[in-house]
Amino acid sequence: MAERALWLRFLSGGDVDSLQITRASIIEAVEHVVAEHGRGHTVFEPRVHLVPDNGGAGHFNVLRGHVSTLGERGISGIKVVGDFVPNHLQGLPSELGLITLYDPTNGVPLAIMDATLITEARTGAMTAVGAKYLARSDSRVLGHVGARGTAFSNVTMLDELFELDEIRVTSRRPESRAAFAERLRSVTSTPIRVVDTADEAFDDADILIEASRLIHPEPLLHTGIVKPGAFVVPYGTISAVELDLLDVMDKVVVDDWREAQAGRFGALRAHVDSGRLSESTLHAQFGEIVAGLRPGREGPQERILLWHRGLSILDVAVAHMILSRAEAANVGTMLHYR
């Protein structure tokens, strides 16, 4: 039998933008795949890091995942995303990513696409879905530390799900937080308040998001700042979490316990390494809660923390949704693979 020609679809950042994917669509895709993870319908390998000899400028994350319930035959994908904090000095995003999708039944490559938006949006969507199940439904004040990377999606997706009275933002650089606030004001009518410190952002907040870009560990999230009933999400690459913070939490939830134990980076790395967070102290994996297998929030006074490291299956699910939209609209460039 003659070998058939194979083509794949290339989607640039502009192609992805042209599809006008809504925040609601991304949240829906993420919530679905998280539930599928809870039901055991996903496969993924631990993320790995490539750390070049570049003087500490940054590193690459490599994520690999498969979702058996997407499309007729499932979908597999691999994403490579850089984490280069100083990129703003070159006028570049700190996280630039590329994802490839494959037919899991024969290994045929289906698509190559820019994953910069996917990385930002799926992380923000995971934060929002986490709040949907774990925050108080009457949450009114959001405190957000960090102004780059996933920050915009974090805030806008939470703002879409909750009737917020105030959003407080801060970051290390005054010009960065001011620009972030102006960008938010252009898309929401919720009052945005710029503050100088993490304590000001988090004080009496109902939802506390730590998305800092620290170079060295610094306790921005500490026990005295988290009020009863608060929902806390820390996920900086370098930890900004006080070691004693888990002592005041009623529930600690992770996206995947195996992933929580892996790698050299992460907000709760010291808590896992020291045994403060273990399989016995963990409340649940988040997918178990979304799938209805474990309880989420059970009372208005519970302090709940969600640590999500960024599962590859989220990237695969959002990329699959984008590819489906692109195929329907005939967007992108078809490349002759072989």
Which of 314, 313, 318, 287 lies closest to 134 in space, CA to CA? 287
What span, in angstroms and rounded, lies between the C-alpha atoms of 223 and 238?
18
pLDDT in tens, the chain (338 residues): 778 899 999 999 999 999 999 999 999 999 999 999 999 999 998 888 899 999 888 999 899 999 999 988 999 999 999 988 888 889 888 889 999 999 999 999 999 999 988 988 998 999 999 999 999 999 999 999 988 778 899 999 999 999 999 999 998 888 989 999 999 999 999 999 999 998 899 999 999 998 887 666 667 778 888 999 999 998 766 667 776 777 888 999 998 888 877 766 666 676 677 777 778 888 999 999 999 999 999 999 999 999 888 899 999 999 999 999 999 999 999 999 99
Q: What are the phi and psi torsion angles at 145 (to 5°)? A: -105, 125
Which of 331, 283, 336 lies closest to 130 in space, CA to CA? 283
225: burial class by Cβ within 10 Å (0-12, 13-18, 19+)?
A: buried
Contact between 121 and 318 under an 8 Å Cβ cutoff? The reply is: yes
Show the CA angle centred on residue 170, arms to residues 166 and 172, nearest 5°: 180
Q: Which amino acid is at 266?
A: G
Q: Which two tokens stand for residue 191?
A: 């009052």
Q: Which two tokens stand for residue 334?
A: 């078809």
Q: Which domains does the chain have, with CATH numbers?
A: 7-118+313-336 (3.30.1780.10), 124-310 (3.40.50.720)
Give the bridge partners for 232, in sequence order: 208, 305
Write the Ramachandran bin of 100: left for phi over 0, alpha for psi from -120 to 50, otherwise beta.
beta
pTM as predicted: 0.90
